[in-house]
Amino acid sequence: MVSGSLRIAARVGVFVLALALWQVLSATGVLSKDSFPTMTSTVSALGHQLGTRELWAAVGQTLQGWALGMLIGGGLAIVVGSLLGYSRFAYRSVIPVIEVLKTVPAIAILPLAIIIFGATMQMKLFLVSFGIFWPLTIQVIYGVRAVDPVVRDTAQVLQVRGLRRFGVVTLPSAAPFLATGLRVAAATGLILAVIAELIGGAAGLGLGVLTAENAGPSELPDMYALILVTGLLGVVVTGAFMAAERRLLHWHESQRNRSSARAS
């Protein structure tokens, strides 16, 4: 308990120190005021924006694109990964293609998505779905194929088949892989949603950052305030998925080991 309190205090202290350093460097001119506003002016701009409808509308647009992209890309990845994991022939046939496409940066297809869909929500959904589909599919395949052979053979002897086998045998075995894949995909998807807005022009926080940047030096505090909001949003999303993973997989060895490490 004491070590946990010290850990939290250390993290808060480092955060406060970073803010203080930002203020000192920008106020003394070490950081150019044309590029870096002071910490106090940025926080003031953030406080002002938190009371505006425009900020929350942008947050909602970013989260909407992220959530729908996760739903589409994640749902397809679970279905395709499960099917490929069950079939050794399909796995060996398709995995080279998936491994190659996984290495293609999602940002590289952004120009194509803009040409096809324009600066729309559909463009954002396409980019997020494409970016998370390939790595999550591989995680699901590995999870499905990681079923203990003894458990698999026992289910076969007991004639546990179809959806029942998937629910009581395959899913519990693949759950840790799936949880890790979804946690990583959530962070990646949020980044891609903001990129689609910042570069592609879709509505959301990224477009707000771009608009503030183009407005000139007087709007720099607002730009940095929006950047802070995107960072905080990423922390919230990642923290929510980590908390859900700990809660839903409390029975798994990996979560017990994490709990033991935190306690020590």
10 compared with 65, residue with greater pLDDT: 65
CA 92/CA 103 separation, integer angstroms: 18
Q: Model confidence over 72-95: pLDDT tens digits?
A: 999 999 999 988 887 888 888 888
CA 162/CA 233 separation, integer angstroms: 39
pLDDT at residue 192, rounded to an integer = 95
**Fold of the 2-28+48-263 domain:** MetI-like fold (1.10.3720)
pLDDT at residue 77, rounded to an integer = 93
**57-71, 167-181, 228-242: segment of lowest average pLDDT:** 167-181
With cut-offs at 50, 70 and 90, classify the pLDDT of residue 161. low
CA 238/CA 234 separation, integer angstroms: 6
CA 101/CA 108 separation, integer angstroms: 12
Q: Give this prediction's pTM.
A: 0.84
Instruction: Give the orientation angle of helix 220-248 with respect to helix 253-263, to 10 degrees.
Output: 110
With cut-offs at 50, 70 and 90, classify the pLDDT of residue 63. very high
Surface-to-core class of residue 242, CB atoms within 10 Å of its CB (0-12 exposed, 13-18 middle, 19+ buried): middle
Domain ranges of the chain: 2-28+48-263
CA 155/CA 219 separation, integer angstroms: 63
CA 125/CA 75 separation, integer angstroms: 13
CA 2/CA 149 separation, integer angstroms: 43
Residues 106 and 131: beta-carbon distance below 8 Å: yes
